[in-house]
């Protein structure tokens, strides 16, 4: 009536006889950082076009991102990770580490790169489904802010444009959101592409009212590196990350200004002008200036100072004038010495027409010989 159940071995000897081995899996290790296996909609994978799948995938991305960001013990350690990600993404952002404190091995950025790729998959899924509701707005805002912190314009730039130019027309954004996104876009155009005309077009189109963003753009337009550094310290973390993309050009401009205006400057003054340590500056830009007693020597003064230089110029001027006078005197002397020689006397019959010519015999008509003197 009832089938007999197989006996389950209970002893360790019987378990080993059955061929069961102990699992080597580390159950304490979190698997939240593993990327979900979805493809790109542009490559033919349409699974993320489903609304429910999009929501689950978005919550997975949020969890992995926040878990990874919260795992760092300090803000400098997180900044180092984000800076390494920016370098790996071939961005122009330069980290604030000095050569003495820089790690010998770059940190592993695999997790953040996987998160960025999943953000792209989600964006393509939202575009494929033409989703414009509140969930799409939240997803795009999260992707924009996270990608800005990771200094990845390939992710935040299309997200900002989609929010302002597409989604806002169907599901209007609030005024604070418009002001925030327009500020990001204006800064990006000015700092990353030097498109100042387009940046001011964004300001006019979305009626941007952000004094710090406008000041930062004006500092780039006018080449005022002092204003740029002071403004960068006042903006929030997102805008400061975008401004990082113009830092290298601003430093180069500051070095050119200092080099053309000074013969030597204090090391501290140069570091304040460029917001960078002198040793790192010299290595980064290949500067040939020398450091002596706490000063950076840009151009060396001539021996003896300004008076010696003026005396040397005056001596060269007098020497040149003397040479010119000598030339003029030589020309006048040549004219005076030149004497007109008398004309060469004409010859008659092969002899000079002179009263001292050798007499010659001639015969007159009468046949008599007589001597005629010339």
Mean pLDDT estimate for the chain: 78
Reference 112, options 65, 80, 79, 54; nearest CA is 65
Check whether 157 has a pLDDT greater than 50.
yes
Among candidates 284, 172, 192, which has minimal Cα distance to 184?
A: 192
Residue 244 is classified by DSSP as G
- pLDDT of 339 > 70? The answer is no
Give percent of the chain with pLDDT exceeding 70: 67
20/336 Cα distance (integer angstroms): 128
Mean pLDDT score, 280-308: 82
- pLDDT (tens digit, 9 = 90+) per residue, 200-230? 999 999 999 999 999 999 999 999 999 999 9
- For the stretch 131-144, pLDDT in tens is 999 999 999 999 99
The sign of the torsion formed by the CA atoms of 228, 232, 235, 241 equals: positive
Report CA-CA distances (Å) from 369 to 355, 366, 372.
20, 9, 10
Q: Reduce the DSSP state of residue 130 to 3 states and report it.
A: coil
According to CATH, the topology of domain 41-247 is: 1.25.40
Q: Is the pTM of this model over 0.75?
A: no
- Other Cβ atoms within 10 Å of 96 Cβ, number: 16
Of 51, 45, 44, whose CA–CA distance to 131 is shortest? 51
pLDDT tens digits, 67-106 = 887 776 666 666 676 676 655 454 444 444 443 344 445 5
Question: pLDDT by residue (tens digit) across 238-254?
Answer: 999 999 999 999 999 99
Residue 24, CA atoms < 13 Å, CB-side half-sphere: 1
User: Please, which pLDDT band fits residue 174 given cuts at 50, 70 and 90?
Assistant: very high
Euclidean distance between CA atoms 294 and 268, whole angstroms: 8
Residue 40, classed as helix, strand or coil, is coil
């Amino acid at each position: 009536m009832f089938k007999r159940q197989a006996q389950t071995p209970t002893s360790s000897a019987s378990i080993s006889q059955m061929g069961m081995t102990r699992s080597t899996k580390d159950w304490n290790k979190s698997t939240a950082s593993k990327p979900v296996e979805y493809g790109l909609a542009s490559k033919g994978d349409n699974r993320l076009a489903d609304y429910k799948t999009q929501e689950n995938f978005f919550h997975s991305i949020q969890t992995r991102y926040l878990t990874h960001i919260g795992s760092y013990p300090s803000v400098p350690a997180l900044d180092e990770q984000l800076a390494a990600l920016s370098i790996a993404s071939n961005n122009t952002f330069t980290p604030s580490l000095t050569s003495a404190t820089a790690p010998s091995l770059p940190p592993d950025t695999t997790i953040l790169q996987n998160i960025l790729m999943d953000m792209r998959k989600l964006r393509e899924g939202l575009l494929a489904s033409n989703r414009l509701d509140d969930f799409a707005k939240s997803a795009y805002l999260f992707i924009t802010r996270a990608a800005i912190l990771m200094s990845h314009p390939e992710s935040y730039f299309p997200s900002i444009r989609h929010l302002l130019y597409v989604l806002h027309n169907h599901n209007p954004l609030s005024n604070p959101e418009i002001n925030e996104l327009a500020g990001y876009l204006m800064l990006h155009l000015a700092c990353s592409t030097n498109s100042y005309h387009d940046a001011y077009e964004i300001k006019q189109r979305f009626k941007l009212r952000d004094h710090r963003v406008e000041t930062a753009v004006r500092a780039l337009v006018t080449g005022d590196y002092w204003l740029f550094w002071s403004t960068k310290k006042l903006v929030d973390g997102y805008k400061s990350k975008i401004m990082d993309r113009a830092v290298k050009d601003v430093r180069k401009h500051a070095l050119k200004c200092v080099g053309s205006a000074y013969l030597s400057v204090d090391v501290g003054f140069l570091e304040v002008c460029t917001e960078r340590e002198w040793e790192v500056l010299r290595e980064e830009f290949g500067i040939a200036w020398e450091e002596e007693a706490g000063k950076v020597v840009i151009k060396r003064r001539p021996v003896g100072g300004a008076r010696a230089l003026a005396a040397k110029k005056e001596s060269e001027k007098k020497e040149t004038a003397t040479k010119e006078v000598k030339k003029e005197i030589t020309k006048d002397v040549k004219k005076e010495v030149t004497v007109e020689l008398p004309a060469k006397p004409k010859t008659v019959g092969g002899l000079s027409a002179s009263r001292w010519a050798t007499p010659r015999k001639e015969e007159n008509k009468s046949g008599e010989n007589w001597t005629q003197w010339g």
